[in-house]
């Protein structure tokens, strides 16, 4: 993987930071990471070979404006959404927050507005707690070239009933990097539901480097869902990381429905006693794409619970790798680490891997794993086709059943429906490609 830093990047970053009126600490961090990132190591993930991907050949940061029409395909109901952020490229198209929530101290806005209006609050957490800027070459690259994203802050004991929705649309009508940063802070006793949508408009080949940080304080409850639909011309590093305090809970529901190559770093640290996470992931790969998803839960506190459930489907010549890592550290007595990763292959030329890893450094714990990689059950296919159902429809019914065992575990009905619709789109495109070839 080539690391390229042009000499004029430092002055371009300074200008870009000034254009957004970022605080001094932000410019200092950018310049420090710009100088440092070429020397840092790349992160390593078991059985995910991404080192030669084009993830570090940055374009010079400049302030651009995107066309609002690029949101049309998403059919976003701006009027009906109380809490909504829509970004296209580097442009904010909508930023809405229920006035009643704002009166309680809730903050939901784009990352640059947050840096200007709440610099000390953002600085306290930004790339310091969940994802540290100098953690590796890709996180440092992100810190240097960040160009969008959101800040969500929920004060102590505030429970938000209506979901917070965010759309981040990569503007690939031009050559430019897509580097959004999302920072979610849930104070003690708070509760929130955050829905994230990633997509691409345009046909240019671009890189994406996306970082999400979630900090859940004591007794906080965060419901986090995401549907990722970046294009086949996008090569992506995606890092989502949560830190949980005492008795905090984070429920993850993520659909990796991208069409391009993706390396996903998906981690949860159960720091506080009694903290709990449920991680549910579905993924589909098509064409010649590669998706490598490294999902890790680390039990640090006593009586913590970390469960990972991952199901993926592979079509055509694509590759999907699930790493499930459960780590119970010494002293985390009474903790529970469970994981299940299963991959269904619908092509003889597809490649799949489900790699369960349990690292147990404490005796008084419960831990287990299950993993499988297999092809479509011929008996199921024969049964369906013997009743007049075509092969394509039969395959889709089998896939629905396979992924449905994960989707039904997701509490939110709207997230289930959104994921199901996205899965249908991905399967239709994949089967169409197979027919064309």
Beta strands 107-110 and 148-154: pairing type? antiparallel
- pLDDT, residue 50, reads 97
**One-character DSSP codes across 305-330:** EEEEEEEEEE-TT-EEEEEEEEEE-T
Residue 428 inside a domain? The answer is no
Average pLDDT over residues 299-311: 97
Give this prediction's pTM: 0.94
User: Phi/psi zone of residue 89: left (φ > 0), alpha (ψ -120 to 50 degrees), beta?
Assistant: left
**Does pLDDT of 434 surpass 70?**
no
d(CA 387, CA 389): 6
Average pLDDT over residues 135-157: 98
Of the candidates 192, 241, 187, the residue with the CA atom closest to the CA atom of residue 219: 187
**Does pLDDT of 2 surpass 70?**
no
Residue 213 inside a domain? The answer is yes
d(CA 64, CA 61): 9
Residue 417 inside a domain? The answer is no
Average pLDDT over residues 268-276: 98
Residue 230 inside a domain? The answer is yes
- pLDDT, residue 199, reads 96
**Does pLDDT of 142 surpass 80?**
yes
- SS3 at position 384: helix
d(CA 325, CA 333): 18
- SS3 at position 287: coil
* Number of domains the chain is built from: 1
Average pLDDT over residues 296-309: 98
Tokens 């420090």: give the residue.
32
What's the pLDDT tens digit per position in 111-129?
999 999 999 999 999 999 9
Domain that holds residue 15: 9-272
The strand pairing partners of 148, in sequence order, are 180
- SS3 at position 147: coil
Residue 13 inside a domain? The answer is yes
Maximal CA-CA distance, the chain: 68
Residue 382 inside a domain? The answer is no
Contact between residue 351 and residue 315 where contact means Cβ atoms under 8 Å apart:
no
d(CA 216, CA 30): 26
Residue 33 inside a domain? The answer is yes
Q: How many CB atoms lie within 10 A of CB 78?
A: 11
What's the pLDDT tens digit per position in 163-194?
999 999 999 999 999 999 999 999 999 999 99
Residue 302 inside a domain? The answer is no
């Amino acid at each position: 993987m080539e690391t390229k830093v042009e000499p004029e990047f430092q002055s371009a970053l300074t200008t870009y930071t000034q254009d957004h009126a970022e605080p001094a600490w932000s410019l200092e961090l950018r310049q420090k990471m710009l100088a440092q990132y070429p020397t840092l190591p790349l992160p390593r993930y078991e059985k995910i070979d991404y080192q030669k991907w084009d993830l570090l050949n940055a374009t010079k940061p400049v302030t651009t404006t995107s066309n609002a029409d690029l949101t049309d395909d998403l059919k976003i109901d701006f009027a009906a959404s109380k809490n909504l952020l829509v970004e296209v490229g580097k442009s904010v198209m909508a930023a809405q927050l229920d006035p009643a929530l704002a009166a309680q101290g809730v903050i939901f806005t784009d990352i640059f507005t947050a840096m200007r209006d709440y610099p000390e609050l953002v600085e306290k957490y930004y790339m310091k707690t969940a994802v540290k800027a100098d953690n590796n070459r890709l996180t440092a690259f992100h810190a240097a070239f960040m160009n969008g994203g959101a800040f969500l802050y929920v004060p102590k004991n505030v429970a938000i009933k209506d979901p917070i929705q965010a759309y981040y649309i990569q503007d690939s009508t031009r050559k430019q990097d897509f580097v959004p940063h999302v920072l979610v802070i849930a104070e003690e006793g708070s509760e929130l539901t955050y829905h994230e949508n990633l997509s691409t408009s345009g046909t240019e080949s671009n890189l994406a480097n996306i970082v999400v940080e979630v900090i859940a304080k004591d007794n906080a409850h965060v419901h986090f869902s995401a549907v990722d639909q970046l294009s086949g011309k996008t090569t992506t590093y995606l890092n989502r990381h949560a830190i949980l305090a005492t008795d905090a809970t984070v429920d993850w529901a993520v659909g990796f429905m991208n069409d391009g190559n993706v390396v996903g770093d998906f981690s949860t640290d159960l720091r506080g006693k009694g903290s709990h996470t449920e991680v549910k992931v579905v993924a589909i790969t098509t064409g010649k794409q590669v998706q490598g998803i490294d999902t890790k839960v680390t039990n640090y506190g006593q009586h913590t619970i970390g469960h990972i459930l991952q199901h993926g489907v592979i079509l055509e010549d694509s590759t999907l790798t699930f790493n499930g890592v459960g780590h119970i550290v010494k002293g985390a007595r009474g903790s529970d680490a469970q994981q299940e990763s299963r991959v269904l292959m619908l092509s003889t030329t597809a490649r799949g891997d489900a790699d369960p890893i349990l690292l147990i450094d404490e005796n008084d714990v419960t831990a287990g794993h299950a993993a499988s990689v297999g092809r479509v059950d011929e008996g199921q296919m024969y049964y369906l086709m013997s009743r007049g159902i075509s092969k394509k429809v039969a395959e889709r019914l089998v896939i629905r059943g396979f992924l449905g065992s994960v989707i039904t575990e997701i509490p939110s009905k709207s997230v289930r429906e959104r994921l199901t619709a996205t899965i249908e789109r991905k399967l239709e495109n994949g089967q169409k490609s197979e027919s064309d070839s």
